[in-house]
Amino acid sequence: MFRNIIIIISFAFVFAILLPFLTVFLNVDYQLLIEISKTPEFLNTVKITFSAAILATLIAVIFGIPFAYGIIRFDFPFKAILEAIIDIPQTIPHTAAGIALLMTLGRNSFIGKSFGLFGISFVHTFWGIVAAMSFLSFSVFVNSVKDGFKKVDIRYEKVARSLGATPFKSFVFIALPMVKHEIITGSLLMWARSISEFGAVAILAYYPMTLSVLTYDKFQGYGLKQALALTALIFIMSMIIFVFIRIVQNFWKYTESR
């Protein structure tokens, strides 16, 4: 009896999640969906969104891997505070994060003026999109890599050092290869998370438009019909990304179990 109740609750919960998706696909104008998918505006927006998400992910890889390794392997003052700070962007409304980024990176701010000397602006530019995505999705990557380093037995690195390897070499050739799955999974998750970002991007860099901003713009300017078609397209792309991530994860589990 208890088992059946749990199963019913689980199916009801899953159905509640699927219902909005089903509603979109049952009400969308598929002819309009096809037309929009071929427009230069949509294709350019996809290019901008995906490119910005890729660049934000690369930034996370460069800075996130050393950070995650340091947090797991070393003890130092205020380590717990640093870990908490990384997660703060996930706990605040993204519009508030956008306001904070605008004040920090705006044209009249110290950072904004400094980058302006090199011709780089963050307000209503591609770089602003990258900054917003990086700020809000960085912890997704870091937490994934941290989990990987936690599983790596430090004795492997100690053995390498006892054989003459420097700390840097033991990190690069021992620890890093052992968390490659977490690095790739974290990168994919951050990339997917960055693509969906709206609030901070809309405030800091409304133009050039990302997919989420374009959907909102169409809804405000042209009503539900066009926004619904764009939403369906985004759902389709999101599902493809989700399936790809699951295939990669399941493939690794299969190869590791053999």
| Lowest-confidence pick of 1-10, 228-237, 247-256 | 247-256
What's the CA gap between 211 and 229, in Å, rounded?
12
Domains of the chain: 30-72+89-257 (1.10.3720.10)
- Neighbour-count burial of 196, counting CB atoms closer than 10 A to its CB (0-12 exposed, 13-18 middle, 19+ buried): middle
Closest CA to 240 of 61, 57, 46: 46
| Lowest-confidence pick of 54-58, 98-102, 213-217, 236-240 | 236-240
C-alpha triplet 37, 52, 96: angle, nearest 5°: 105
What's the CA gap between 222 and 218, in Å, rounded?
5
Residue 239 burial (CB count, 10 A)? 11
| Mean of pLDDT over the chain | 93
Q: Which amino acid is at 196?
A: S
Sign of CA dihedral 124, 126, 128, 132: positive
C-alpha triplet 109, 58, 214: angle, nearest 5°: 65
C-alpha triplet 94, 69, 166: angle, nearest 5°: 150
At 239-257, the pLDDT tens digits run 898 888 888 878 877 776 6
- Residue scoring higher pLDDT (60 or 258): 60
C-alpha triplet 242, 247, 252: angle, nearest 5°: 130
Structure confidence at residue 249 (pLDDT):
77
At 165-192, the pLDDT tens digits run 899 999 999 999 999 989 999 999 999 9
Structure confidence at residue 54 (pLDDT):
96
- Residue scoring higher pLDDT (3 or 47): 47
Structure confidence at residue 93 (pLDDT):
94
User: Average pLDDT in the 209-230 region?
Assistant: 95
Structure confidence at residue 253 (pLDDT):
72
Angle between helices 180-195 and 40-73 (to 10 degrees): 140
Query: pLDDT band at residue 258, thresholds of 50, 70 and 90?
Result: low
Assess whether pLDDT exceeds 90 at residue 76: no
User: Average pLDDT in the 21-32 region?
Assistant: 95
Structure confidence at residue 257 (pLDDT):
66
- DSSP for the chain, please give it: -HHHHHHHHHHHHHHHHHHHHHHHHHHS-HHHHHHHHTSHHHHHHHHHHHHHHHHHHHHHHHHHHHHHHHHHH---TTHHHHHHHHHHHHHS-HHHHHHHHHHHHSTTSHHHHHHHTTT---TTSHHHHHHHHHHHHHHHHHHHHHHHHHHS-HHHHHHHHHTT--HHHHIIIIIHHHTHHHHHHHHHHHHHHHHT--HHHHHH--SS--HHHHHHHHHHHH-HHHHHHHHHHHHHHHHHHHHHHHHHHHHHHHHHH-
Structure confidence at residue 250 (pLDDT):
81
- Residue scoring higher pLDDT (50 or 78): 50
Measure Cα distances from 235 to 39, 159, 163 in Å: 18, 48, 52
| Lowest-confidence pick of 29-43, 185-199, 238-252 | 238-252
Assess whether pLDDT exceeds 80 at residue 99: yes
Prediction pTM value: 0.91
User: Average pLDDT in the 119-130 region?
Assistant: 97
What's the CA gap between 136 and 109, in Å, rounded?
20
Assess whether pLDDT exceeds 90 at residue 108: yes
